Amino acid sequence: MRPEYDFSEGVRGKHYRAYHEGHTVTIHQDDGSTIIQNFRLEADAIVLEPDVRRYFPDSESVNATLRSLIALLPQTQEPA
Distance in angstroms (rounded) separating the CA atoms of residues 69 and 59: 15
What is the rounded average pLDDT of the residues 23-27? 90
Reported pTM: 0.47
| 3 or 1, which is more confident | 3
Distance in angstroms (rounded) separating the CA atoms of residues 8 and 1: 13
Distance in angstroms (rounded) separating the CA atoms of residues 37 and 26: 6
| Residue 80 scores a pLDDT above 70 | no
Report pLDDT digits (tens) over 33-79.
999 999 888 888 888 888 998 999 899 999 999 999 999 988 876 66
